[in-house]
Amino acid sequence: MNTYELDRQYVFHSWSAQAALTPLVITSASGSYVTDGDGNQLLDLSSQLVNTNIGHQHPKVVAAIKEQADLLCTVAPQHANAARSEAARMIVERAPANMAKVFFTNAGAEAVEYAVRMAKLHTGRNKVLSTYRSYHGGTQAAVNLTGDPRRWPNDLGTSGAVHFFGPFLYRSAFHSSTEAEECERALEHLEQVIGFEGPATIAAIILETIPGTAGIMPPPPGYLQGVRELCDRFGIVYIADEVMCGFGRTGRWFAVQNYDVVPDLITFAKGVNSGYVPLGGVIISEEICRTFADRAFPGGLTYSGHPLACAAAVGSMTAMTEEGIVENAARIGEQVLGPGLRELAERHPMIGEVRGLGVFWALDLVKDRATREPLAPYGGTSPAMTELVGALKANGVLPFTNYHRLHIVPPCTITDEEMRQGLAAVDKALAAVGHHYEG
């Protein structure tokens, strides 16, 4: 049996009805490209699940993993090890100034679970607020905090999760006509939700600094500062979920650094080591660290701070610093990707809006620009989106789509030439499905 046949017989896939799946076989990868089972080379504009920030098979990260494997493959988390200590130091030094320590997990969902646990224990409260347009992970607390339809079959209404509307001018819940109006009205709405839920019952507000899977919607100026003020006023912990948008994705080490705001806890994973070995964690403020100085924190993981994963993180952050990879992401967004996508919007009326920064962008695709009717329904897909995915692959691109959106999320290492190649492929694919536009 070949790889595909073995997969279909023995592998149970996530988020999927198993019978209809036809997974793409990937045999190898390098830099911004992957090679499929038929030998086709595809430009990876998905960064897999928006995690290969440093690209595929970066030699410095591969070497760091090999060197660590020769020294110490694994160790229990109660022992100090050099890779974990150094990774924690490097993460804290790149985080906002109030951050003090790192608790390591194996992935982003676990990071959210533990951040929420810390917030609840720190405040003695149970509720956590999050937005409807969000994704925070697939484990129990994380999926209940998630806003998208994957929450629905997992939502028992007993987790303490409360949802509210975040700002999103293009599809505003507040009938706003400007970014300033959207910011003001979204903050008024959040303050009302806090009041009606009872401020003394709310442990935390968790926000993706820039919602990722839900549509890459950068918040309007002043919104995150307004959330910070509400949290301070009511004694609520502000958790910044940076699992997808952290570690260079937006052209800064952390997306909050684009908005001059300081959270109490930051969750991370994905780009910390580009998923070469699974790793996530929570960056913890001085104040919350003090809560557990003389009080045992009731949580832990067998593989917390796994040395192979932490060595990959050290190698990745070192390479990103030495090679100017974060700066490259910012430059690509400002000079190549952002302008290129806006040019595509001028040629393709199917593009209702272009949103993003760094190497973190989305095209909001519509049937009609006037009505803004999505090209696919919320929580689903459509023949047009299926055709678009096929056209992108036929033009040499591995895409990331969700509902009616095409996300353009290449590695932070992508070159100008590669990015222009990707934009040309997107241009051709959009032209191929233009007949679905009804406006």
Q: What is the pLDDT of residues 177-207, one digit of tens each?
A: 999 999 999 999 999 999 999 999 999 999 9
Q: Residue 350: CB partners within 8 Å, gap ≥ 6?
A: 365, 366, 367, 375, 430, 433, 434, 436, 437
User: With bands split at pLDDT 50, 70 and 90, how would you rate the model's confidence at 156?
Assistant: confident
Tell me the DSSP string of 261-317: ---SEEEE-GGGTTTSS--EEEEEEHHHHHHTSSS------TTTT-HHHHHHHHHHH
Q: Residue 48: CB partners within 8 Å, gap ≥ 6?
A: 275
Angle (CA) 54 50 33, round 5°: 55
Distance CA 69, CA 308 (A): 7
Predicted confidence (pLDDT) at residue 135 exceeds the cutoff of 90: yes
> Once rounded to an integer, what is the mean pLDDT over residues 387-412?
98
Report yes or no: 50 and 212 within 8 Å, Cβ to Cβ: yes
The one-character DSSP state at 337 is I
Element (H, E) at 422: helix 416-432
| Strand 99-105 relative to strand 280-285, pairing | antiparallel
Q: Residue 367: CB partners within 8 Å, gap ≥ 6?
A: 350, 373, 374, 375, 436, 437, 438, 439
pTM of the entire predicted model = 0.97
Amino acid at 395: N
> Once rounded to an integer, what is the mean pLDDT over residues 5-24?
96
Sign of CA dihedral 268, 132, 251, 408: positive
Tokens 């309007």 -> residue = 220
Report yes or no: 97 and 256 within 8 Å, Cβ to Cβ: no
> Once rounded to an integer, what is the mean pLDDT over residues 270-276?
98
Token pair of 348, please? 């393709």
Predicted confidence (pLDDT) at residue 157 exceeds the cutoff of 90: no
User: With bands split at pLDDT 50, 70 and 90, how would you rate the model's confidence at 300?
Assistant: very high
Distance CA 235, CA 305 (A): 30
User: With bands split at pLDDT 50, 70 and 90, how would you rate the model's confidence at 134?
Assistant: very high
Predicted confidence (pLDDT) at residue 283 exceeds the cutoff of 90: yes
* pLDDT (tens digit per residue) in 227-239: 999 999 999 999 9
Tell me the DSSP string of 168-232: -GGG-SS--SSHHHHHHHHHHHHHHHHHHH-GGGEEEEEEESS-TTTT--PPPTTHHHHHHHHHH
Token pair of 306, please? 């796994």
Predicted pLDDT of residue 348 = 98
Predicted pLDDT of residue 158 = 86
> Once rounded to an integer, what is the mean pLDDT over residues 85-107?
98
Q: Residue 306: CB partners within 8 Å, gap ≥ 6?
A: 74, 104, 106, 277, 278, 279
